[in-house]
């Protein structure tokens, strides 16, 4: 991501936002201006930081577990025809279910704490990671497989030395997508039942008509997501470049 | 030196009931270069892939036998037009791929010898993307030789190279593959004229054998016998295409 164009676009969007607020003269609980939001953000920095840390923790743990589960599932599907026949239809079916609807149940099962939010994040990112990596594993260039066959390779070593490395870029794409989805999962979990986190803070601010604080929390979440995305993108690129 | 068997390939192939090639009989003499020359779609690559026991999508009826009674597909090394180098692995890791894929230790002495003979020593730690097309095919050739198999199947391995690189690769291949039974599939009459101890032109009707010039392989590119043979082969290809 180039810094300058991104910055210019942000300044432009904020300017339009301020312009709308100035022209329409809307009450601050309907649409607070960017200056007010910035001010609120600054005066509530300690509170926002505390809740951000909670959400960030949920997201990172969720991302780690979801990615690990996705990798294991994809490897299983790619190496076993039986697994493909049994698991793939179920996997697709579960994607048709709205995961959001599960949030209250997850809270019931796992409590108000960290783990119901982690579970939500995991549920949301599991499929994109699995599907991206699995696709990569099934699309090994056939020439490599021909070569491996003439070399009397063992299936496990073909997987480890050829199919997995060839699928790493696909996995990277899946994990980058997951980095964007995971915060959404965590926040949904917080909406349903929590006493901490940015999602909780948003709900709280909304209930008290503190729309400026709601905006401040929401924008913080956005920044967190972008930051996470950039970190993951950097990490996956490093992995893709590694010596085999 | 390695003792290489001869091979007899007999049979016909169809794809979804449509004939790919008519019943043909192809003999690969032990320790010699056999060139299978033909245009696109006549099934010459299918013949090679059948010998290697690779998937072809064709139904083959026939037999593949080695003169010493061994299983052909177990003793081949294979090299294709695409160098098939793993882009994430170094030159060294690519060359010893076969041993790594079987969980064996690579023969270090053999590797050192091949690196010298293929002129790859200074490229050992590089990735394939840092190499030229000719260098990449040298790595692929070294990987093929690292396998130390008596039968070598070459599927147009040099066709993507420029003319002078191709000629020097042909010389190197002949030198390094001496004593092995080689089948080279090619669409280049010049290549067949330079390299073949035996040359067969393949068309949908079957095989036509052409007597190669009676001079040692690799034949000089500018020898009159090579050029005559090349034009004979080209005429044969064109006449049968019409």
pLDDT in tens, B105-121: 999 999 999 999 899 99
**Domain range holding B165?**
31-49+71-241
At residue A202, does pLDDT exceed 50? yes
* Confidence at A244, pLDDT banded by 50, 70, 90: very low
List, as ranges, residues 106-165 from A with C-beta within 8 Å of B.
143-144, 146-154, 157-158, 161-162, 165
- For B48-84, what is each residue's pLDDT tens digit? 999 999 999 899 999 999 999 889 999 999 999 899 9
Distance CA(A239)–CA(B73), nearest Å, equals 37
Asked if A186 and A62 count as a contact pair (C-beta separation under 8 A), the reply is yes
How many angstroms separate the CA of residue A155 from the nearest CA in chain B?
9
At residue B122, does pLDDT exceed 90? yes
CA distances to A131, A157, B45 from A162, rounded to whole Å, are 19, 8, 24
Contact B54 A158 (CB under 8 A): no
Distance CA(A57)–CA(A156), nearest Å, equals 35
Domains in chain A, number = 1
Does B105 contact chain A (CB < 8 Å)? no
Domains in chain B, number = 1
Query: What's A65's domain CATH number?
Result: 1.10.3720.10
Contact A153 B101 (CB under 8 A): yes
Average pLDDT score over residue span A128-146: 95
Query: What's B135's domain CATH number?
Result: 3.40.50.300
Helix, strand, coil share of chain A (percent; to 5): 85, 0, 15
Distance CA(B220)–CA(B242), nearest Å, equals 30
| For B93, nearest residue in chain A (alpha carbons) | A244
Question: Would you say residue A12 lies in a domain?
Answer: no
Distance CA(B240)–CA(A17), nearest Å, equals 75
Does A25 contact chain B (CB < 8 Å)? no
Least CB–CB distance from A150: residue in B77, B82, B88: B77
At residue A24, does pLDDT exceed 50? yes
Tokens at B83, concatenated: 């160098």
Distance CA(B53)–CA(A223), nearest Å, equals 55
Question: Would you say residue A19 lies in a domain?
Answer: no
How many angstroms separate the CA of residue A147 from the nearest CA in chain B?
7
**Domain range holding A203?**
39-240
Contacts of A207 (CB under 8 A, 6+ apart): none
Q: What percent of chain A has pLDDT over 70?
A: 98
Q: What percent of chain B has pLDDT over 70?
A: 98
Contact A165 B86 (CB under 8 A): yes
Question: Would you say residue B139 lies in a domain?
Answer: yes
Mutate: best of B88, B94, B96, B145, partner A, most A CBs <10 A: B88
How many angstroms separate the CA of residue A152 from the nearest CA in chain B?
7
SS3 state of residue A3: helix
| R_g of chain A computed on alpha carbons | 22
* Confidence at A242, pLDDT banded by 50, 70, 90: low
Question: Would you say residue B10 lies in a domain?
Answer: no
* Confidence at B204, pLDDT banded by 50, 70, 90: confident
Question: Would you say residue A72 lies in a domain?
Answer: yes
Tokens at B141, concatenated: 């050739």
Asked if B58 and B43 count as a contact pair (C-beta separation under 8 A), the reply is yes
- For A75-111, what is each residue's pLDDT tens digit? 999 999 999 999 888 888 888 888 888 888 888 899 8
At residue A243, does pLDDT exceed 70? no
List, as ranges, residues 135-174 from B with C-beta within 8 Å of A.
147
Note the ipTM here.
0.91
- For A41-80, what is each residue's pLDDT tens digit? 999 999 999 999 999 999 999 999 999 999 999 999 999 9
């Amino acid at each position: 991501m180039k810094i300058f164009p991104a910055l210019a676009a942000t300044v432009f969007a904020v300017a339009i936002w301020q312009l709308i607020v100035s022209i329409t003269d809307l009450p601050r609980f309907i649409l607070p201006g960017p200056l007010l939001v910035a001010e609120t953000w600054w005066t509530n920095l300690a509170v926002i930081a505390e809740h951000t840390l909670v959400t960030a923790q949920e997201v990172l743990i969720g991302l780690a577990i979801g990615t690990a589960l996705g990798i294991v599932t994809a490897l299983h599907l790619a190496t076993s025809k039986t697994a493909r026949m049994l698991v793939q239809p179920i996997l697709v079916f579960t994607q048709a279910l709205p995961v959001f609807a599960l949030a209250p149940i997850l809270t019931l099962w796992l409590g108000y704490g960290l783990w119901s939010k982690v579970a939500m994040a995991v549920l949301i990112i599991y499929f994109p990671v699995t599907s991206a990596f699995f696709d990569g594993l099934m699309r090994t260039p056939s020439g490599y497989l021909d070569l491996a066959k003439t070399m009397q390779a063992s299936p496990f070593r073909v997987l480890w030395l050829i199919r997995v490395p060839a699928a790493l870029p696909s996995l990277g794409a899946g994990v980058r997508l997951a980095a964007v989805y995971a915060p959404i999962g965590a926040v949904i979990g917080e909406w349903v039942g929590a006493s901490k986190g940015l999602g909780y803070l948003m709900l709280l601010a909304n209930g008290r008509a503190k729309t400026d604080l709601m905006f401040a929390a929401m924008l913080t979440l956005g920044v967190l997501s972008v930051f996470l995305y950039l970190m993951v993108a950097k990490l996956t690129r490093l992995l893709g470049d590694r010596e085999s | 030196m390695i003792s290489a068997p001869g091979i007899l390939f007999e049979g016909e192939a169809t794809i979804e009931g449509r004939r790919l090639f008519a019943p043909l009989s192809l003999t690969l003499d032990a320790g010699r270069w056999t060139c299978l020359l033909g245009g696109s779609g006549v099934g010459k690559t299918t013949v090679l892939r059948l010998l290697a026991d690779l998937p072809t999508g064709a139904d083959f009826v026939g037999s593949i036998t080695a003169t010493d009674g061994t299983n052909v597909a177990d003793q081949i090394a294979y090299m294709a037009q695409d160098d098939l180098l793993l882009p994430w692995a170094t030159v060294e890791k690519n060359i010893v791929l076969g041993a790594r894929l079987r969980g064996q230790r690579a023969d270090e002495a053999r590797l050192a010898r091949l690196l010298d003979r293929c002129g790859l020593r200074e490229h050992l730690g590089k990735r394939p993307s840092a190499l030229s097309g000719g260098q990449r095919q040298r790595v692929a050739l070294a990987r093929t030789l690292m396998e130390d198999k008596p039968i070598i199947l070459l599927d147009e391995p040099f066709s993507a190279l420029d003319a002078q690189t191709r000629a020097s690769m042909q010389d190197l291949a002949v030198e390094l593959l001496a004593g092995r039974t080689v089948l080279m599939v090619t669409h280049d009459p010049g290549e067949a004229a330079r390299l073949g101890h035996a040359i067969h032109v393949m068309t949908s009707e079957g095989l036509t054998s052409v007597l190669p010039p009676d001079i040692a392989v690799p034949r000089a590119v500018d020898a009159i016998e090579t050029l005559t043979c090349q034009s004979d082969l080209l005429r044969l290809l064109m006449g049968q295409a019409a």
